[in-house]
Amino acid sequence: MLTRKTTWHFTFVSLIIGFMLAIQFQTSHEPDVRDTRDIWEIRQDLKKEQELHKQLLHEIRKYEETLEKYEQQRSENKGAILRQTVEELKKEAGLTEVVGEGVVLYVEQMYDESYVGPVSDTVSAELLRRLMNELNMYGAQYVSIADQRIVNTTVIRDINGVTKVDSYPLRSFPFEIKVIAADAEKMYNRLKASTIADDFALENLLLTISEPQQRVVIPPYDGTVRVKQMEAVEDARR
C-alpha cells in the first residue's frame, strides 16, 4: 500500500516528465525560420553594419586623441607648476626683484657746517640690527639696505670699525632702507611711534621715514647663496 508521501513524489515526477515531453513535441513541430532577404537587402544591412563599424572606429580615435591631449596638458601643467614653484622659491630666497607697497627710510648725517668734533662715517652694526628687529616685528616682508637685499643668511657686523651688510661696507651717507610690508600704513605708524629715530640721533644720524608708498622696488640679492648641511641624493632609478 502506497503511503501519502510516496504518492506525492510519484505525482511530482510524472508532472516533470509530461512537461519535458510537451516541450520536445512543440520544438519538433516548429517550422524552421529561413532568411527570406534578397541579396540587395543583405548588402544594405551589411553596408549599415560597415557604417556603424566605421563610426565606432571614428569615436575610438576621437577619444584616443582627447586622452592624448589630456596627457599633454597634464605634462605641460606639471612643467608650469614646477617653473612656478622655482620662481616662488627664488622669490623667498631673495633672488628676484620685488615690488610692492611700503616705506623708505633715509639715513643721513646730522652735522651742519657749524659742527666741530669727530664725524662718524658709518652707522653702528648694533643700531642697524636693532632697526632690523623692529622692522621684522612690524611686519616687514622684504628689506634692502643701501640697495643690498636682506635675506635669511645676511650678516650685519662691524669689521675694523666699518659696518658691513654681508661684504658691502656702509661708509657713505645718505643711504636708503627700503621696506615692503603687507600693511604699509601700519608699518609707517609703528615706526613713527617708535624711539628708533632717537637711537639714530644718539649717533648723530638723522632717520627720516617716508609716507607709505604704493610702489617700492627692492633689488634681488646679488651675493652667493651658501647652502649648508645639504647633499645631493643619487637617483634610485639608475
What DSSP string runs through 158-173?
EETTEEEETTEE--SS
**Range name among 3-7, 92-96, 98-102 with the lowest pLDDT average:** 3-7
Going by C-beta distance under 8 Å and a sequence separation of 6 or more, which residues neighbour residue 76? none
pLDDT, tens digit (0-9, with 9 covering 90-100), for 31-54: 554 555 567 777 777 777 777 777
**pLDDT per residue as tens digits for the range 163-200:** 999 999 998 899 999 999 999 999 999 999 999 999 99
Domain ranges of the chain: 40-93, 98-111+120-218
pTM listed for this prediction? 0.61
Q: Yes or no: is domain 98-111+120-218 CATH 3.30.70.1880?
A: yes
Nearest Cα residue to 80 out of 69, 90, 92, 72: 72
Q: What is the mean pLDDT of the chain?
A: 79
Residue 153 CA to residue 99 CA, distance in Å, equals: 21
State yes or no: pLDDT of 93 exceeds 70. yes
Say how many C-beta atoms besides its own lie within 10 A of residue 147's C-beta: 14
Please indicate whether residue 222 or residue 21 has the higher confidence score (pLDDT). Answer: 222
